[in-house]
Structure formats: structure tokens, C-alpha cells
Amino acid sequence: MIITPHPSPNFGARRDGALPDMVVLHYTAMESAAAACERLCSPDHEVSAHYLISEVGEVFLLVEEDQRAWHAGAGRWGGVTDVNSRSIGIELANTGFAPFPEPQMTALEGLLVGIMRRWAIPPKRIIGHSDMAPGRKVDPGVRFDWYRLAMAGLSIWPNVDSEHCHNSGIVDALRTLGMTAECDDETLLTAFRLRYRPWLSGASGPPDQVDLAMATDLASRFPVDQPLLTS
């Protein structure tokens, strides 16, 4: 894989000796990779990511993996509140409304394989921005193919027929999975559906049996590593 260095000044040291143990996926919400690269490398905007992948599969290294890029912002995953210090951020050039092109997805898969191997990151800790910041963020959005990543062993996907499904509350299941950011139950469910049932994007109402089966299966097989937050 060819990775082109394009250093951004927007980074710092990871806090408290933290090492990356998760990956957060984003879309840029801009018209082109060039525009996104300019923004991510501008000291005026104070935002960055470790990698940017263009629409045609070009991979740009903006911040070294051992450094703390400024991509995640406020949010939580399990017991982690400083997600920037514990994660590697990958930006995908996409407006948020277009399909993710095949060359871009192929490049992402290759990049993830290397990152996961270098830092011993399991598939359950490849998450979306919307997973750790429900309601505040929606990327990588409804057009992103999480199922494809899961089938490649690079993420997770529910098995609604699993014998591990049970009748606990869906909010408890989502918190166990790692979705611990502070938000109301409806926002939490919306964020879950955005990733695992994107065809229901915008749907409101209480969780149904499919939501419950998916959430409880994932929580039983992929509980978050950190202790749950109580505050």
C-alpha cells in the first residue's frame, strides 16, 4: 500500500501514556479530498486525523499513529472519555450522501489490516464517529458499508439468530456494547440504527424485536473492554 505523507500541524502527545486501542471512522462532509486535506492541515481550524483516504483510494498520512490527532471531539466509548488519546482517526472523502467508491473501500480495508496488526486492535473496536457521539455526529453515515468490513474481519455485525440473544433492555445492551455517551434513549437508538439498520435512518419510535435481538447479540459477544461509566 502506498501511503503519502502530508503532515498536519494539528496534533499533540497522547495523554497519560495512552496508546491507540481503537479506530474511529469519519466522512469529511466536504466536496473533495483536496478540500478536506487543506482543512485538516490548516492550523486555523484545529482539526485533523491520522489518515485521509480520497475517493480514488489515495491514502494520506496526516499525523503519525503514536501521536494524538484532533478528530473525535466530545464523546465516550465504554469508559474512555478522551477518545482522541486512545484512537486512530480515519477520514474518508465523502459528502455524507454519496456511496463510498470501491477503490476507497479497498484502501480502507488495507489500511485497517495494518493498523489492527500494529496495535493489536480487535474488530469490535473499529467504530464510527456516530457510535461515540450519538446525536452530535452521524458519520460515516447511512451509505457506509459496515457489513462489508465485518465480513472481512475488520468490524462486527449482529447475528439476530444467535442463541445469546435475551430479553434485557436495549439501553443496557447498548451501554454494554460501549455506547456510553450521554444522550437520551431515542438518540442512542437512532445512532445504533444508523450503523446496523441504515435503511431505517430517520425512523422514530420505540425499539422493535430486531433492534433488541441485534443489540443483545452484539453486547453478549462484544462487550466493551473498559468498565461502564456511572456518571
**Domain extent listing, the chain:** 3-151, 170-221
Distance (Å, rounded) from C-alpha 100 to C-alpha 88?
A: 20
**Helices 185-196 and 170-177, axial angle in degrees (round to 10):** 60
Distance (Å, rounded) from C-alpha 75 to C-alpha 33?
A: 25
pLDDT at residue 203, rounded to an integer: 66
Mean pLDDT of the region 135-143: 96
Q: Is pLDDT above 70 for 105?
A: yes
**91 catalytic, yes or no?**
yes
Distance (Å, rounded) from C-alpha 84 to C-alpha 77?
A: 11
- How does pLDDT run across 79-98, given as a tens digit for each residue? 999 999 999 999 999 999 99
Distance (Å, rounded) from C-alpha 86 to C-alpha 90?
A: 13
Distance (Å, rounded) from C-alpha 125 to C-alpha 135?
A: 20
- How does pLDDT run across 169-217, given as a tens digit for each residue? 899 999 999 999 999 999 999 999 999 999 886 667 789 999 999 999 9
Q: Is pLDDT above 80 for 227?
A: no
> In whole numbers, what is the pLDDT of the chain averaged over residues?
92
pLDDT over 70 percentage in the chain: 93
Distance (Å, rounded) from C-alpha 108 to C-alpha 116?
A: 12
Active-site choice (31, 38, 55, 91): 91
For the chain, helix, strand, coil in percent to 5 are 35, 15, 50
Give residue 230's pLDDT band: very low, low, confident or very high (50, 70, 90).
very low
CATH topology of domain 3-151: Lysozyme-like (3.40.80)
pLDDT at residue 168, rounded to an integer: 56
Mean pLDDT of the region 52-59: 98
* CB 91 within 8 Å of CB 53: yes
pLDDT at residue 206, rounded to an integer: 86
- How does pLDDT run across 5-37, given as a tens digit for each residue? 999 999 999 999 999 999 999 999 999 999 999
